[in-house]
Structure 1
Amino acid sequence: MAYQVRLDNFSGPFDLLCHLIENAELDICAISLTQVVDQYVSYVTLAEDYTDLDAVGEFLVLATRLLLIKTQVLLPITYSSEPDQGESDDIDDTEELVQHLRQYRVFRDLGRQIGKFMEQEKTYIPVGCVPVEGDEQVEVMNPPHIKLYDIVSAWTRLAPLFNQPQTVTIFPDRPTVEEEISALKIRLKNQPSLSFNHYLGKNPTRLRLVTVLLAVLELWRQDNIRVWQVVHFGDIFVASKEVGTCTNNP
């Protein structure tokens, strides 16, 4: 809860008081700094568990600067050989206070924003975790006790893997079924028939085997080729529709 200031002509958070003075909406001479300090001391004293030393220090800095500005405003003007010097010092102190208040507000707003982020973080469930409903008890698995020797031994076993040269697999072009159909048509124009195994070549990949087979089946479906075998489960022969069926391997 933010510290509240209660004066005769002002009641509200201390941040609001600083804001009003910063924007000249409240006359600093109308503020009893003694009451402000007394109320804050009482506030800190009553809060036995109050341990925010940064907030206490920030309050003392702001209160001291407010007291300095009020003193300069209330004291009579002292004339000297350099009449502008006193006025210049007052302006510098006032600007320094305003600048400090602005910096204070920036850090205050950032702190509140971080607090909102932390509250939102509580609602998130990490990957792999299961939300607990009601009074359900979840057994917490403690991590195994690992010694430094175990970590060093594991690193010793893995270290040689990082020194191995990286291998890059280069895949050849993968023709489509349409491309294989065009290639088969051109091939059958130059020769009367061809062997399926001979057309595939040595050690064809599964992808090429399936692609060529689909191309042959599509040409067969379109009634553009003839397909036959000399023996069961033997090689497949393909010929253009204009060529008769062969009985041997071309």
Structure 2
Amino acid sequence: MYKVRIDQFEGPFDLLLYLLENARMDIYDIRVTEITEQYIGYLKEMDELNVEVGSEFIVLAAALIRLKSRMLLPRVTEVDETIVEEDPRTELAERLTEYLQTKKIAEMLQRREKEYSGIYTKPAEDISEYLNSPEELLKTDPDKFVRTFRSFLEKKKRLAEVRNRYERIRRNRSSVEERIAAMASMLERKWKNQDSVSFSELLAPNADRYDRTLSFMSLLEMIKMQEVNATQDRVYGEIEITKRTKDQTNVQ
């Protein structure tokens, strides 16, 4: 027995096609007795469940019963002394074929509607003012135009300089740990020929504010770790860095 719900079908032909598909019957070779019993059995089951069935389903049931009775009668007629075998199922097959075609078109239209429902168009605007008088777009003071263009170039140049400086700083920026290692290596080389090294000797000739700050913070960290001694004779004077001996305990 086929158990399906009425609200899954758009009409009686939809239900009939469902039954034919499940019974693996060809539209042009319907086993009328078998499919009629299944169709009527389905309607009876709905009636037992107190489900209201549309009148169009009853009409098709009557048509199937009539077709079933016609299949029991002789299907041979004589026309102009010619014997012609009639198939009562032909009309039903044609109606099912037409229904299938209509259903496919409806499904295609539903897909198109869904696709185009997500497309939004912009209302047309009247641009005849610009098309009829295109020279209006170029009417301006030449001096003002030149000043505006120069301002644009200067702004672009400043932006490029800022980007280049940012890229250079980001490329060269190093951590305190890396700077301490570099300064320690430099101090070891210089202490071989001199007792003290000035802080300025540890800076690159083109050192900027960031490099100076990072080097000074690294020097303070080295003093804190008791790796070097540093002295400064006067405020803002040169900082002299000497090697710390093992017996020294205080920073000068």
TM-score bracket, normalised by the shorter chain, equals 0.3 to 0.5
Structure with max Cα Rg: 2
Q: Give the number of the structure whose residues are more often helix, by fraction.
A: 2
TM-score in terms of structure 2 length? 0.42
TM-score in terms of structure 1 length? 0.43
